[in-house]
Chain A
Amino acid sequence: MADGVRGKVYGRRRFLKQLGQGTAAAAALAYPHPRSPHAATAKNPQVRYAMVIDTRRCVGCHACSVACKAEFDVPLGFYRSWVEYVEKGTFPDVRRSFLPRLCNQCSNPPCVDVCPTGATWQREEDGIVEIDPDICIGCKYCILACPYDARFANPVTGTAEKCDFCLHRVRNGLEPACVETCIGRARIFGDLNDPNSEVGRLLATTAVTVLRQEMGTKPNVYYIAADHTGEGDARAGQYVRVTTHRRQKDRR
């Protein structure tokens, strides 16, 4: 992979601007379209960034939610990352557990498949699903397609937005903002393809689950000891309360 491609987040944007100015087919060669045949390796990238969330260490503190909010100046009413509470049981045997949420960076991302412009694509270098706001036309297909409710239309820009594992930080050698701030060290981030990475070691040694496995999306966000109970799972007379801490009080 040429540095020219791997090294620039904004390569594609510049490419499109250059196209707009009617310049250089040569530039097109230097910055291949993400949906070109070159991108086929996205399913098997050399580096596969993933997150493991050890809910035994999560204290539901929302530091991740607010860190993310600040990092991207996310408008009120929307989150790229958030924390849900699941409370259930009968007094005094009551339990509350915490479920941090974010884009699952699926290996089979339904959002990419439905995007009509190629604004959403999966990076072949590391598997991160990215959105180019310069190409996004705000059609919201991807928002509907995402089984995790991880996307939203940014009211300021009108384009789709979601977590990108803090690509701008990761490529500069920094952990994602939510990982850096996680008080309980519940969020662990790294390269799944590296057996010596912490996420690699955890996946090799610990039982994990993913959200909505039945969808076949192959998420790259894994959970340890997560309580996947939803309010719909409560049998008659059982108490289950899910709090999303978002404007959207229901979850999907």
Chain B
Amino acid sequence: MSNRREFLKLSTASAIALFGREAVADADPKRGLLKGGKDYSPATGTERQAIPTACWQCVTRCPAIAYVEDGRLVSIGGQPDSIRTEGFICAKGQAGVNQVYDPDRVLYPVRRTGKRGEGKWERISWDQALSEIAGRLKKLRDAGHPEKFMFHYGRMKASSSKLIKSVFLATYGTKTIGNHTSICEAAKWVAQELTWGKHYDNWDLDKTRYILNFGSNCLEAHTNHTPIAQRLVRAMADRGVRLVTFDVRLSNTAARSDTWVPVKPGTDGAAVLAMCQVIMHEDLYRGEGEAFLKFCKVTRNRNATTQEKIKALKDHLQSFTPEWAQTVSGVDARKIREIAREFATVKPAVVISYRGAVANYGGVETERAIQMLAAITGNIDNPGGRCRAVGAKWKYPKGPKKKPQAKKLNILDGFKGRSALPTHHVSHQVFKMIKDGSAGRPDVYMWYCYQPVYSNGDCQENIEVLKDEGLIPFTVAVTTSYDESAELADMILPDTTYLERWDWEDSVSPNQIPEYYLRQPVVRPRGEVRDFGDVCCELAERMGMPLGIKSKEQFVKRSCGMTPGVKEAGGLDYLKTHGVWHDPDAKPKYFGYKKELKPEALKKDTVIFDAATGVYWDWTKSKAKTLTEAKAAGYAAAKKAYKGYIGQRIDAKVYAGFKPDKINKSGLFELYSDLLESKGFSALPAYLFPPDQEGTQDDRLILTTFKVNVQTHSRTQNCKWLSEIYYENPGWINPATAEKLKIKDGDAIRLTSEIGALETRAHVTPAVAPGVVAISFHCGHWRYGRYASGNPVPTPVRGDDRGITKWWQGNGAHPNWIIPNWPDPIGGQQRWMDTPVRLEKI
């Protein structure tokens, strides 16, 4: 591709040299047309300025090129040199233009003048804003209570995360840091940490020959959307790869699949276990699956023979028959058998999954079962299989060497005993914890790129807690928009959009080769907005704890100069021009667990062997104070022992194995989890029945949620080009269900859950399973500017230079009002997919 680009650049250059810009002849179509990287104004014919940068509409963070005309951002295209996106960018990415020019953006720091939530504001200077915040934060820190400063982020990645969290907040000393993973896919990550250690599974779609999908709508929304979606189409269209999708609803992914298997919400795990049952009992594991068992822990005894492991799996799965699964999931037993046999015999095959399968009561067990399905067919970390993610490994300045021992309030993981292993927190219950108060409350609650009121369940409770000055004395929103949460802040700090700031980026590569890329400002920041990274540098100065870093730009520049590969390529200057860099000699990473460790790796004095788990570990990396203490506790029980993990002994050899993260798991692929067993769950993956749905009465339906291709969960409804396509979200109901309830297409309906009621419109379609009502996220904003909600904002705005031309009425219904903030019992995952509701015609 780059050759073709270079060629075209040269030919254009020579044409300009000969004729001048005006006289350039039409391109010769026989030479083929250039795929991106340039753009011209249709009005004047002049070339637009092309600035490489990176998207931020969703977490995929695609490398992109912004096209600027007379200082105004006009369009955003893909980055043709990216090995992740291959030059494509989705609708959301292109509508990033709207983020910059949203007529209702917050452009100046403001402080409330009325009661909290009343909507009365005064504009203040940055100096006033930062002296007040620095004053409050310094006071807490000086009093020895830095933990009373709670920072809660929604989307914060790469250099933003490192500068704000690892440098600023660490130097300040608070660990009361909330995230949003529990309202995303925490169950998936917890299950992966229990099985193969790290989290994030990449699906090697370019090399696979069969795709089995549980609840991922990756053609519309995914944490690696554009890279995955294009490869999925390529696999199917170019190579005839079969795609089978289990989903409650005919998503566009299900629609493009060879087979759509409608399944009852939250029951995918039953079908997965039954497939494992078929594969084990029909001996279809033989070959790659059997060989992989060598690296698996399947029984309490890690040294069990392969035959013992096979027997243990057969015994465990005995009762999970396809006929049993049919009673649970509604999927025909014959179909389960057929798909299981196909999946086990086509090699390589990949099993993929996302929130449809995991954002429910039994989500962790479902994902563990999916990991088991991949393991017993030998489709783990192999070309064409389910692989451990690969992303860029940046080096960055760490800030002051001496940092305090950080403190935290225990309000991040939900109520004690409710979730066994919430390694990604239970952030959707932070407000419940604050209300409860028994674990303390923050004095200052600041959120960044986050919408706690709108994005979590139980909006009413979120509003009540955030509004209560008695519960939280001081609230600060760092945001680009006047949204439902910012409305309840005491102060709003206007953040830059991602198109006005610096970052280095590191998102997962679909081809197992890391890509390093840059986000740079493409236009001058509007109004007085400031990148919060820069704000942190200044806050630190004001509090007398300088970070040694002046700005995000400097942080990014220094990182570029420190990171091997990027540095040699030319550092920041290279990325400013080219946008992306990858090592041209890099080979895709597969089978990393099979790497045998050299004896030197184990020679260090502090590396000890733990016979119970077979793990070599450096005890000094754990919390153990002495060697004796470390040995006495053992690897499994020593606090943070996983941080010292070196390798795994299997028979007489030591392998890199499956390196743990966040929990003291061995280096084996753990189908059998001692840890879960110790918490009262099944050691091998099993099925968890949601207690609140047992004996569900006939008139109750299950409310399930989904995402569409032109919106993110909560951050894009202000984009007019997107909301114009998708601005309302009726409830999808199967015709059989609708008939029973005497509901017709288009009827006004009311959904009532245990916490509230919601009114919307019925969308009667056979594209959803019976017994379900499916409502998308995205809609029903009551703030967030005129395009999202119809409501103007009370903060000072700069009039839209192009006027508001919104033609659509209504803005849909937000399901979160009636979905409780409840966690799954293992991972703390918010249950988006299995809320029991009553449905009636209004």
User: A25 → chain B, closest Cβ, in Å?
Assistant: 22
Chain B 713-753 near chain A by CB (<8 Å), digits 1 or 0: 00000001110110000000011100000000000000000
Chain B residue contacts of A70, Cβ below 8 A: 74-76, 94-95, 97, 721
Chain A residue contacts of B256, Cβ below 8 A: 59
User: Does residue B27 face the partner (Cβ distance < 8 Å to A)?
Assistant: yes
Taking a contact as CB atoms under 8 Å apart, the answer to whether B709 and A61 are in contact is: yes
Taking a contact as CB atoms under 8 Å apart, the answer to whether B765 and A175 are in contact is: no
Taking a contact as CB atoms under 8 Å apart, the answer to whether B33 and A175 are in contact is: yes
Q: Report how far A10 CA is from B220 CA in the complex, Å.
A: 40
User: A244 → chain B, closest Cβ, in Å?
Assistant: 10
Smallest Cβ-Cβ distance to B808: which chain A residue? A247
Taking a contact as CB atoms under 8 Å apart, the answer to whether B250 and A180 are in contact is: no
| Set A76, A95, A173: member contacting B806, Cβ < 8 A | A76
Taking a contact as CB atoms under 8 Å apart, the answer to whether B29 and A47 are in contact is: yes
Chain B 44-82 near chain A by CB (<8 Å), digits 1 or 0: 010100000000000000000000000000111110000
User: Does residue A113 face the partner (Cβ distance < 8 Å to B)?
Assistant: no
| Set B32, B42, B725: member contacting A245, Cβ < 8 A | B725
| Set B33, B720, B765: member contacting A241, Cβ < 8 A | B765
Q: Report how far A190 CA is from B34 CA in the complex, Å.
A: 11
Chain A residue contacts of B220, Cβ below 8 A: 59, 61
| Set B78, B709, B765, B806: member contacting A87, Cβ < 8 A | B765
Interface residue ranges of B7-52 to A (CB < 8 Å): 8, 11-12, 22-27, 29-36, 38-42, 45, 47
Taking a contact as CB atoms under 8 Å apart, the answer to whether B23 and A172 are in contact is: no
Taking a contact as CB atoms under 8 Å apart, the answer to whether A173 and B710 are in contact is: no
Taking a contact as CB atoms under 8 Å apart, the answer to whether B233 and A183 are in contact is: yes
Q: Report how far A33 CA is from B366 CA in the complex, Å.
A: 69
Taking a contact as CB atoms under 8 Å apart, the answer to whether A63 and B89 are in contact is: yes
User: Does residue B255 face the partner (Cβ distance < 8 Å to A)?
Assistant: yes
Chain A residue contacts of B8, Cβ below 8 A: 173
Chain A residue contacts of B95, Cβ below 8 A: 66, 70
* Residue of B22, B26, B90, B765 ringed by the most chain A CB atoms within 10 A: B26
Chain B residue contacts of A12, Cβ below 8 A: none
Chain B residue contacts of A59, Cβ below 8 A: 219-220, 229, 233, 252-253, 256, 709
Q: Report how far A160 CA is from B42 CA in the complex, Å.
A: 15
Chain A residue contacts of B234, Cβ below 8 A: 185
Interface residue ranges of B764-791 to A (CB < 8 Å): 765-767, 769-770
Interface residue ranges of B84-131 to A (CB < 8 Å): 87-91, 94-95, 97
Smallest Cβ-Cβ distance to A186: which chain B residue? B233
Taking a contact as CB atoms under 8 Å apart, the answer to whether B229 and A184 are in contact is: yes
Chain A residue contacts of B237, Cβ below 8 A: 54, 56-57, 184
Taking a contact as CB atoms under 8 Å apart, the answer to whether B233 and A185 are in contact is: yes
User: Does residue B262 face the partner (Cβ distance < 8 Å to A)?
Assistant: yes
Taking a contact as CB atoms under 8 Å apart, the answer to whether A66 and B94 are in contact is: yes
User: Does residue A73 face the partner (Cβ distance < 8 Å to B)?
Assistant: yes
Smallest Cβ-Cβ distance to A125: which chain B residue? B26
| Set A75, A169, A184: member contacting B805, Cβ < 8 A | A75
| Set A7, A125, A189: member contacting B24, Cβ < 8 A | A7
| Set A54, A89, A184, A190: member contacting B766, Cβ < 8 A | A89
Chain B residue contacts of A36, Cβ below 8 A: none
User: Does residue A159 face the partner (Cβ distance < 8 Å to B)?
Assistant: no
Chain A 65-78 near chain B by CB (<8 Å), digits 1 or 0: 11101111101110
Count residues of A near B (Cβ-Cβ below 8 Å): 68
Smallest Cβ-Cβ distance to B87: which chain A residue? A180
| Set B89, B229, B725, B805: member contacting A62, Cβ < 8 A | B725
Taking a contact as CB atoms under 8 Å apart, the answer to whether A96 and B252 are in contact is: yes
Interface residue ranges of A1-45 to B (CB < 8 Å): 3, 6-10
Taking a contact as CB atoms under 8 Å apart, the answer to whether A91 and B734 are in contact is: yes
Chain A residue contacts of B30, Cβ below 8 A: 191, 194, 196-197
User: Does residue A100 face the partner (Cβ distance < 8 Å to B)?
Assistant: no
Taking a contact as CB atoms under 8 Å apart, the answer to whether A77 and B226 are in contact is: no
| Set B22, B36, B226: member contacting A175, Cβ < 8 A | B36
Interface residue ranges of B404-454 to A (CB < 8 Å): none
Smallest Cβ-Cβ distance to B219: which chain A residue? A59
User: B97 → chain A, closest Cβ, in Å?
Assistant: 6
Chain A residue contacts of B318, Cβ below 8 A: none
User: Does residue A114 face the partner (Cβ distance < 8 Å to B)?
Assistant: no
Chain B residue contacts of A172, Cβ below 8 A: 12, 24, 27, 38, 40, 47
User: Does residue A213 face the partner (Cβ distance < 8 Å to B)?
Assistant: no
Chain B residue contacts of A94, Cβ below 8 A: 250, 260, 765-767
Chain B residue contacts of A92, Cβ below 8 A: 260, 262, 766, 769
User: Does residue A212 face the partner (Cβ distance < 8 Å to B)?
Assistant: no
User: Does residue A145 face the partner (Cβ distance < 8 Å to B)?
Assistant: no
Chain B residue contacts of A63, Cβ below 8 A: 88-91, 94
User: B793 → chain A, closest Cβ, in Å?
Assistant: 19
Chain B residue contacts of A73, Cβ below 8 A: 74
| Set A57, A76, A167, A191: member contacting B29, Cβ < 8 A | A191
Chain B 525-554 near chain A by CB (<8 Å), digits 1 or 0: 000000000000000000000000000000
User: Does residue A139 face the partner (Cβ distance < 8 Å to B)?
Assistant: no
User: B81 → chain A, closest Cβ, in Å?
Assistant: 14
User: B347 → chain A, closest Cβ, in Å?
Assistant: 25
Chain A residue contacts of B76, Cβ below 8 A: 70
User: B51 → chain A, closest Cβ, in Å?
Assistant: 15
Taking a contact as CB atoms under 8 Å apart, the answer to whether A62 and B709 are in contact is: yes
Chain B residue contacts of A54, Cβ below 8 A: 237
Interface residue ranges of A198-218 to B (CB < 8 Å): none
Q: Report how far A59 CA is from B724 CA in the complex, Å.
A: 19
Smallest Cβ-Cβ distance to B93: which chain A residue? A63
User: Does residue A60 face the partner (Cβ distance < 8 Å to B)?
Assistant: yes
Chain B residue contacts of A173, Cβ below 8 A: 8, 11-12, 27, 31, 33-34
Chain A residue contacts of B35, Cβ below 8 A: 175, 180
Chain A residue contacts of B721, Cβ below 8 A: 66, 69-70
Interface residue ranges of B784-841 to A (CB < 8 Å): 805-808
Q: Assess A171 versus B26: contact at CB under 8 Å? Given A56-B237, A60-B709.
A: yes
Taking a contact as CB atoms under 8 Å apart, the answer to whether B40 and A174 are in contact is: yes
Smallest Cβ-Cβ distance to B253: which chain A residue? A59
Interface residue ranges of B193-214 to A (CB < 8 Å): none
Chain B residue contacts of A108, Cβ below 8 A: none
User: Does residue B230 face the partner (Cβ distance < 8 Å to A)?
Assistant: yes
User: B568 → chain A, closest Cβ, in Å?
Assistant: 31
Taking a contact as CB atoms under 8 Å apart, the answer to whether B33 and A97 are in contact is: no
Taking a contact as CB atoms under 8 Å apart, the answer to whether A174 and B38 are in contact is: yes
Smallest Cβ-Cβ distance to A194: which chain B residue? B30
Chain A residue contacts of B23, Cβ below 8 A: 3, 7
User: Does residue A251 face the partner (Cβ distance < 8 Å to B)?
Assistant: no
Taking a contact as CB atoms under 8 Å apart, the answer to whether B26 and A87 are in contact is: no
User: A227 → chain B, closest Cβ, in Å?
Assistant: 11
Chain A residue contacts of B78, Cβ below 8 A: 180-181
Smallest Cβ-Cβ distance to A239: which chain B residue? B766
| Set B24, B34, B75, B230: member contacting A174, Cβ < 8 A | B34
Smallest Cβ-Cβ distance to A69: which chain B residue? B721
Taking a contact as CB atoms under 8 Å apart, the answer to whether B41 and A194 are in contact is: no
| Set B33, B226, B260: member contacting A189, Cβ < 8 A | B33
Q: Given contact pairs A9-B45, A70-B94, A73-B74, enumerate 15 new A-B contacts (beta carbons under 8 Å).
A: A7-B26, A10-B45, A47-B29, A66-B725, A67-B94, A76-B807, A155-B805, A167-B42, A168-B41, A170-B27, A172-B40, A174-B36, A174-B39, A189-B33, A196-B30
A–B Cβ pairs within 8 angstroms, 25 of them: A49-B29, A60-B252, A62-B710, A70-B95, A76-B806, A87-B250, A87-B767, A91-B735, A91-B770, A126-B29, A167-B42, A168-B42, A171-B27, A172-B24, A172-B47, A173-B11, A174-B38, A180-B35, A180-B77, A183-B88, A183-B90, A190-B29, A191-B29, A194-B29, A241-B765
Chain A residues in the interface with B (C-beta under 8 A): 3, 6-10, 47, 49, 54, 56-57, 59-63, 65-67, 69-73, 75-77, 87, 89-92, 94-98, 125-126, 155, 166-175, 177, 180-186, 189-191, 194, 196-197, 239, 241, 245, 247
10 tightest A-B CB contacts, nearest first: A173-B27, A91-B766, A96-B255, A70-B75, A184-B233, A66-B91, A171-B26, A191-B29, A62-B91, A66-B94
